[in-house]
Every structure is written in structure tokens, then in C-alpha cells.
Amino acid sequence: MDKEKVTGVVLRERAKGENDKLLSILTAEHGKMVVLGKGVRSLRNKNMVAAQPFCCATYVLTKSRSGMYYISESELHEAFFDLRADLLSLALASYVCEVADHVSVEDNADVPLLRLVLNTLYAAAGKKRPTAQIKGAFELRCASVLGLSPELSCCADCGDPDAPAYWLDILGGELFCADCMSKRGHEEASVEYSGEWSRPLCPVSPELLAVLRYVISAEPTRFLSFSLPEHMEADFSAVCERYLLHHLGRGFSTLDYYKQFSKL
């Protein structure tokens, strides 16, 4: 096929030559695609808007002689212009797209990931939820979409689903109640959470656990539809971040940037 019609969201752009861009687009049809945007850095180019970061559009792609696809036509669905009006929302959107660019692969359609990215960008642009809530829910849900979901139904040792306090083993993705942790003689059980994501255990209160369980089990369009009390925002954001970054084995420069504006 010399032409492809795909729908997706622009995750990343790199300038190429005087007027072109290389774009990383997460598509419903083929997963991540790296395509050329010919002339899209020119304001007069018809595909200029659809070649901006975060934009969601349907693209007609044409294969060049070198085998690379370039955008020949585009129909914009959503530009998320409101993201650009707020530095924190913009930083969050950049982080979401950098994570998606890292975890998505070419020639592998991943509609759940695309849907997660778009729902998260909608929420960040609309600012109807606290930014820390959107960030944390995206992180945990992203781990879930990748098949890395933690097992949150009960204590992995004694099976208690309703203990007064738990610890989440970040690497193992398992919960342990406080009793079982002390029986195991884990020194960590007595250690207070320091806020650093490199530590492998996180304390989880029953109310925080209820939120984590909701985020993982909710319908794709409902994963942000919960209220997060302000006093829980920091813990929720921290545990979700630690979980995702540990399992991906890396940090993200866009997350560091986000943290310049937010402590959560």
C-alpha cells in the first residue's frame, strides 16, 4: 500500500531540515508510527496544525520512495489548545506523551493506550480534576494497560482483603498487610515513606487503596471519575509514579520539568 489512512495523536516532534518535522504518532491502526511532516513548520502549510504535539487527527499517509510515510492530508479532530494556556497542564501533557512514546511500539495496534492518552489529555486540558489526580491515575492505568497491574485485592500472604493498613511491594506488585509485614521481619515495615521513588515499599491506607483499586478496575472512560481528597493527592501521585517508573526502569525529563511547577 502506498497510502494509509490512520487516526492518532502526535506524541513527539523533531525538526528536520528547514521546514519539515519528524513526528511520532500513536495510531489506532498500527501503534506508533514515525512519519514525515513535509513543510509543516510553515504557517501556510495545510497540515501545520495537525502536526503539532498533542493534536489528534486522521492522517492520509503516502509512502515515499525511501519507504518512509509522509502526511499528504489531515483532518483535525482535537488540538487541545487549552493545554497551552497553563504551564502545569502543558507539562503534564508532555509527560503523558513522553511515557506513551516510550512504551508504544511500531506495527502493534494499541487502542487501549491511545484511548488512555486521549482521555488523559482531555482531562488535563479541561482542568476539571486536580492535576495530581490526573497524573497519578494516568501512571497507574498506564501500568495496567501494559499488563503490569498490581494485585490489589488482598494481602498476598494471608488473603485479608480488608486490613487496617497495607504496604505495596512496588516491584512485586503485591500488597502485604501490616501484620504479615512484621511477621516477615521486614525492617521496611517500620520505615516511614521518605518521598523518594527508589524505595521498594509504599504504605497504603485503606482510603488510598480504595482509590487505587478504582483506577485499575474502572471503565476506560471512567478511570478519572473519582474524588480525591486534597490530603491524599501527594500520596496518590507518589505511589502511582513510583509504581510506573520502577516497572519501566527509568525516569522522564518531562516529569522533572513537571515537578518544577508541582510538588505532587
Residue 176 C-beta: closest distance to Zn ion, Å: 6
C-alpha cell at 241: 509514579
Q: What is the DSSP letter of 7?
A: E
Check residue 4 for interaction with Zn ion (CB under 5 A): no
Check residue 180 for interaction with Zn ion (CB under 5 A): yes
What is residue 186's three-state secondary structure? coil
Check residue 152 for interaction with Zn ion (CB under 5 A): no
Check residue 177 for interaction with Zn ion (CB under 5 A): yes
Place of cell 504518532: 25
C-alpha cell at 181: 509485614
Closer to Zn ion by Cβ: residue 180 or 202: 180
C-alpha cell at 85: 494556556
Q: How far apart are CA 262 and CA 258, in angstroms?
A: 6
Alpha carbon separation from 214 to 229, 233, 245 (Å, rounded): 15, 15, 20
Residue 160 C-beta: closest distance to Zn ion, Å: 5
CA-based angle 171:174:177, to the nearest 5?
Answer: 125
Sheet holding 151-155, edge to edge: 151-155, 174-177, 166-169, 201-204
Q: Which of 6, 155, 224, 255 binds Zn ion (CB under 5 A)?
A: 155
- Site mask, Zn ion, residues 181-220, x = CB under 5 A? ----------------------------------------
Closer to Zn ion by Cβ: residue 86 or 174: 174
Closer to Zn ion by Cβ: residue 132 or 204: 204
Residue 156 C-beta: closest distance to Zn ion, Å: 8
Q: Determine the interface stretch with Zn ion among 133-141, 152-160, 232-240, 243-251 (rule: CB under 5 A).
A: 152-160
> Which residues bind to Zn ion, rule: CB under 5 A?
155, 157-158, 160, 177, 180
